[in-house]
Structure formats: structure tokens, C-alpha cells
Amino acid sequence: PYAEPVESKNEAAMSELVPEPRQKPVVPMKPMGINTSLLGYIGIDTIIEQMRKKTMKTGFDFNIMVVGQSGLGKSTLVNTLFKSQVSRKSSGWNREEKIPKTVEIKAIGHVIEEGGVKMKLTVIDTPGFGDQINNENCWEPIEKYVNEQYEKFLKEEVNIARKKRIPDTRVHCCLYFISPTGHSLRPLDLEFMKHLSKVVNIIPVIAKADTMTLEEKTEFKQRVRKELEVNGIEFYPQKEFDEDLEDKTENDKIRQESMPFAVVGSDKEYQVNGKRVLGRKTPWGIIEVENLNHCEFALLRDFVIRTHLQDLKEVTHNIHYETYRAKRLNGNGGLPPMTVETEENHESNL
């Protein structure tokens, strides 16, 4: 007679206990691994190939900005990075052209193809930056340009009938050229990086590093790192955006050892030990651009193109653009003013 209530008590106790193991995600994962090997190949790994094919068809955008005083080899370095004539100087720039009185921003687009992958590369040059006697607020046109590209993207994004693929003109990377003085950073350098590091990925580089001895170069790199740290300037890769321990370890090494990259650029080839190398000829020999014993160009190239290019694009989209977007939409009740202007123009036309 007492069996039934005991069973019902047990059932009630069991029903209370059942949901708990379901919360552990590890439990269902183990049998899945065993079943896959037992039951054969599914083909999930082909997603990578599918993504590759799609990317190869559409290509991708990469927009790189170069900032620094004239004469630091900005154009040459960009040409060296992409092993082609992509700078404004190699795109019909007149050598007799005077230095602009204010910062002028010139964007030049190219399509580079390698191994069937197309890259729509835009090089944004900033002639006139830091070349005047009074350089007060000369970073403002550059900040304005960066924000204008975010605005352009946002405008396309909030359109009711928006494009399937929004043209991306946002600046993914800004190479900031530091003069190889061996002394401290100029107030202008600090001012620029302080303002712009909040809106764009800044990678500091020491230009024309062959003008310094190895000891001077090491000391200068350490001094620059210290000054950036003291002034609270975050350069790319920013610490707070490291996604996991592997990223952190890799990026810490770059932040503590490589940054700022001491580089030499050259688009001229020379014969060295029977091999054609990119280099700069000096009275005492040839500086090989891609030789790590001579300069850190190869480290910069691998960093920007071979290991962090996708991350530069993602940080631009997920961090810098999102920050701009949130600020704009919050400040305008959820709509950018361009939409409001369009409506007002439409009403006036009626």
C-alpha cells in the first residue's frame, strides 16, 4: 500500500534533478566527436573553401593611410609594401608641385591581384602634414576625413533600400611616420596620435632607419614606446582588443619588441650574392630592405599584410566604426542628420 507514494516522491525528486546536467555544454560535445569518427565524413570543413571561393569572386577592400612630414619616404615605403607603384607620387604626381599650405588628402585606388585573390587597395596620402612653421591643429583635416568615411558608410547602412555590399572607404590602418631624430617625439607627433588613436588603427614607424646606428635605433625605439605609454597613447594592436591568450602573447611581443617598426623602403632592385633584392645603395654597401639584419621592413610587412590584415579590418568595423555609429545615432534620436536633410529637401521640392 505504501509503494505508490514512495515512487511518486522519487519521480518528483528525479524531475527536479534532470534539468541540471543539461546546462553543461561539455556533455553533448563528447559523443559528437566519437560519432563523427564512427559514422564517417560529413563535410563541415568545406565551409572554409566555400568562404574562400566567395571572397575570391568579390575581392576585398583595404584602405591604408600614410601620415608624416615630407621627405620621410612614405610613398616609397607603401610602394615597397605592395611591391607595385601605388603611391600618389607614382601616379602622375608632379615633383615641382609646392608643399601645400594646409593638409591635403589624396586617395588613390588600385586593384592588386595575387594567387587569384583581388584586393581593392586605396592609399590615402596626406601631403602638407607637419611641414609648416605653425602646425597647430594640422591633424584636424585628417580626423575629419576618417570620420567622413564612417559617415558615408553609416548613411548607406541606414538607407531603407541599402546596397547588398556597401563600398568600404573607411581607413583600416594609419602608418604614422616618425622622424629618425634619435631624440624625443615632437609635440605634434604626440598630439596627432593622441587624437587619432581614438578613431583609427595607428601603427607607428620610424622612417629611414638606416640613418641611425643599431644602438641609436634600439634606444630610440624604447624611448618612443615609453613616451607613448606615459602619454596614454594606444597604438594598434590595442591591449583591450586581444581576443584570447594566443592573441595576447603574440601581440604583447609586437608591442614590447617590434613597435615602432624601424624601416627602410626602396623600390629599386640590386644584385646581391647572385640574387635580386630590394635595397638602397650607400657608399659602404647595399641595405637590403627585406633582410631583418638590416631593418624591420619584413616585420612590418608580415604584420600588416600576412598576419593582421583581417584583424585591422575587423577592429575598424567592430570598434572604431561602432563607436562612431553609436555616438551619431544617440546624438540624433536614432537617425543621422543626413536622413533629416533629405526629408526636408524632399518637402521643399513638393
What is the secondary structure of 92-118 as a DSSP string? T--TTPPPPSS---EEEEEEEEETTEE
Rounded to whole angstroms, the Cα distance separating 88 from 68 reads 14
Torsion of CA 120, 194, 238, 48, to 10 degrees: -10
More confident residue, 332 or 83: 83
pLDDT over threshold 80, residue 263: yes
Let me know if residue 263 belongs to a domain: yes
pLDDT tens digits along 269-317? 888 888 888 878 877 778 878 778 888 888 999 999 999 999 999 999 9
pLDDT tens digits along 156-213? 988 888 888 888 999 999 999 999 888 888 999 999 999 999 999 999 999 988 888 8
Least Cα distance to 185 among 222, 215, 223, 137 occurs for: 223
CA distances from 16 to 25, 27, 212, 228, 312 (A): 19, 19, 73, 57, 49
Query: What pTM, to 2 d.p., does this model score?
Result: 0.79
Give the position of cell 599584410: 305
Cell output for 341: 536633410
pLDDT in the model for residue 38: 53
CB atoms within 10 A of CB 289: 24
Let me know if residue 233 belongs to a domain: yes
142 and 129 Cβ atoms separated by less than 8 Å: yes
pLDDT tens digits along 22-77? 444 444 444 454 444 557 788 888 998 888 888 888 888 999 999 998 888 888 88
pLDDT in the model for residue 335: 58
278 and 286 Cβ atoms separated by less than 8 Å: no
Mean pLDDT computed over every residue of the chain: 80
> Which range marks the domain in which residue 281 is found?
58-89+97-332
Domain count, the chain: 1
65 and 173 Cβ atoms separated by less than 8 Å: yes
pLDDT over threshold 60, residue 264: yes
**Which residues lie closer than 8 Å to 339 by C-beta, 6 or more apart?**
155, 158
Let me know if residue 138 belongs to a domain: yes
The CATH number of the domain holding residue 199 is: 3.40.50.300
CB atoms within 10 A of CB 16: 9
CB atoms within 10 A of CB 219: 13
Q: Work out the pLDDT band at 343, boundaries 50, 70, 90.
A: very low
100 and 128 Cβ atoms separated by less than 8 Å: yes
pLDDT over threshold 50, residue 339: no
Let me know if residue 43 belongs to a domain: no
pLDDT in the model for residue 294: 83
Let me know if residue 41 belongs to a domain: no
Chain length of the chain: 350
Give long-range contacts, CB 8 A cutoff, 24+ apart: 236-242.
236/173, 236/201, 236/202, 236/203, 236/308, 236/312, 236/315, 237/308, 237/311, 237/315, 238/315, 241/315, 241/319
Let me know if residue 6 belongs to a domain: no
Let me know if residue 323 belongs to a domain: yes
pLDDT in the model for residue 18: 46
CA angle 341, 345, 348 (to 5 degrees): 140
Let me know if residue 22 belongs to a domain: no
142 and 66 Cβ atoms separated by less than 8 Å: no
**Which residues lie closer than 8 Å to 39 by C-beta, 6 or more apart?**
none
